[in-house]
Amino acid sequence: MSAIDYAEKIPNNVNLAGDRTLQRALEHWQPQFLQWWREMGPNDFAGAEVYLRTAISVDAQGWAHYGKVRMPDYRWGIFLADPVAERKIGFGDAMGQAAWQQVPGEYRSTLRRLIVTQGDTEPASVEQQRRLGHTCPSLYDLRNLFQINVEEGRHLWAMVYLLHAYFGRDGREEAGELLARHSGDADKPRILTTFNEPVSDWLSLYCFTYFTDRDGKYQLKSLAESAFDPLSRTCRFMLTEEAHHMFVGETGLSRVVKRSLEVMKETGSDDPDRIRAAGAVDLPLLQRYLNFWCSSSLDLFGSEISSNSAANFANGLKGRPDEGQYEDHVLREQTLNLVTPQGAADVPMLNALNEVMRESYLKDCEVGLKRWNRMIERAGHDLRLSLPSARFRRSIGAWAGQAVDPQGNPVPRQRYENSLAGWIPSEADKAFVHSLMRKVIEPGRMAGWIAPPERGINNLPLEHEYVKLH
Ligand SMILES: [Fe+2]
Ligand SMILES: [Fe+2]
């Protein structure tokens, strides 16, 4: 077990005290981070006391320590999972050689780019979610939002530590830029499109945490395989926190479905107008939100055919999620049959790894869909929710800009243009969802459009005052 020294200015288990130069550099970045949090984080709730989980060590007992905290006082720190003794590179052309404790010169800029791209998403999501506290459906949900926010802040710290510790001056400059770009900013936007989309209602938040945080999980899993050992150890610990974000998405959407089914039963109708009049989300509306956020998140995996991902794999920088589940870790001989608008073709597996990753991601996304459809079936309704095809509404890769319906079938361009507004949330849909967003802050109470969760946080009752607002 690696204990975290909370007496230090920056809690860490990387022996920061043993490297004065690095410690000073990070202590210089820390006030910039706090200023960013005060300006771009959930700053209207700076005085709220939130029942938060803080990591006090990285082992099973210590990483989930609960207590009331004001968010600006959260102890953001640097925690790496314990090292694996004599860890070897697990894939690519250098498989079997010792993992790297330093960055090899030839991979320096590529690794830095991978770390910056991951790091950029973390503060971006805090910025996207910063106003949601004003419309929380319950104190339980408000607390979960803030838990995610502080952890995304910590994930930024994780990446900034790597930049400072291993990339010298370039790394320090990149760490500054991570606080200078902002989600949706016209001049200095965040790097990836999904992280510039507004998340201005809670239905979008649950979709974002279901689909977009799950992309994060898959990126972290593939970086956890990296030959660059500090990156691997950082990502392994981040994954323990990431699981909670997807829990919020999956249970949030389950509760929306549950409430919709209750209202369908009460009204004896599945007519969207009647469901809406009763203050709940109709299931076709939910389907359009799923279509939007799933298709946007699918772009995050990049082009179907990518020489960058081939090189990253061959060189040991980025593996496949759960690399251990595969037989062949070198992939010089394998091909994948890929269908593009030009037809089907066998392409070298190494060049198709983005697609391999996207497919395993989609399989993971199916889990919630199955659960929600079972609920709908048990309630006696024929409608089924589904994931959109990976070809639908893509902006990156072979299917970018193609006229394809959510089932993946090519349709005439004109029909596509006319139908698209009905496949993703329309302005009227968004206005309706926004009309449901009213702050509910009495302990234990829930907004009318969402069912209560099955249990509270850390075995506390649902009625617990998870956030004390001032
Ligand atoms: Fe994160
Ligand atoms: Fe996350």
SS3 of 347, please? strand
- Model confidence, pTM: 0.96
Query: Of the ligands numbered here, which is closest to the C-alpha atom of 238?
Result: 1
- Each residue of 374-407: pLDDT tens digit? 999 999 999 999 999 999 999 999 999 999 999 9
Higher pLDDT, residue 64 or 132 = 132
At residue 112, the pLDDT reads 98
Residue 348 C-alpha from the chain's centroid = 29
For residues 169 and 150, give the distance between their C-alpha atoms in angstroms, rounded to a whole number. Answer: 27
Query: Of the ligands numbered here, which is closest to the C-alpha atom of 246?
Result: 2
Query: Of the ligands numbered here, which is closest to the C-alpha atom of 209?
Result: 2
SS3 of 379, please? coil
CA of 144 relative to ligand 2 center, distance in Å:
12
- Each residue of 11-30: pLDDT tens digit? 999 999 999 999 999 999 99
At residue 56, the pLDDT reads 76
Closest CA to 289 of 249, 243, 251, 259: 249
For 67, phi and psi rounded to 5 degrees?
Answer: 180, 165
Per-residue b or e along 90-123, where b marks 16 or more CB atoms closer than 10 Å to that residue's CB: bbbebeeeebbeebeeebeebbbebbbebbbbbb
Query: Of the ligands numbered here, which is closest to the C-alpha atom of 145?
Result: 2
What letter does residue 208 receive in the DSSP assignment? I
Q: What is the Cβ-side half-sphere exposure of residue 80, based on CA atoms within 13 angstroms?
A: 19
Instruction: Quote the longest CA-to-CA distance of the chain.
Output: 68
Does the structure show a pLDDT above 70 at 5?
no
At residue 465, the pLDDT reads 98
For residues 386 and 74, give the distance between their C-alpha atoms in angstroms, rounded to a whole number. Answer: 39
Does the structure show a pLDDT above 60 at 1?
no
At residue 231, the pLDDT reads 98
- Each residue of 426-470: pLDDT tens digit? 999 999 999 999 999 999 999 999 999 999 999 999 999 999 998
Closest CA to 319 of 86, 116, 311: 311
| CA quadruple 309, 315, 318, 319: dihedral sign | positive
- Each residue of 293-318: pLDDT tens digit? 999 999 999 999 999 999 999 999 99
Question: 52 with 280: CB under 8 angstroms?
Answer: no
CA end-to-end distance (rounded Å), the chain: 38
Mean pLDDT value across residues 132-156:
98
Which amino acid appears at position 432 of this protein?
F
CA of 32 relative to ligand 1 center, distance in Å:
19
At residue 310, the pLDDT reads 98
Question: 292 with 207: CB under 8 angstroms?
Answer: yes
At residue 330, the pLDDT reads 97
Any idea how long the chain is? 470
Protein residues near ligand 1, an ion, with CB under 5 A: 122, 152, 155
For residues 219 and 228, give the distance between their C-alpha atoms in angstroms, rounded to a whole number. Answer: 15
Does the structure show a pLDDT above 70 at 7?
no
At residue 6, the pLDDT reads 67
Mean pLDDT value across residues 92-107:
98
SS3 of 127, please? helix
- Each residue of 189-229: pLDDT tens digit? 999 999 999 999 999 999 999 999 999 999 999 999 999 99
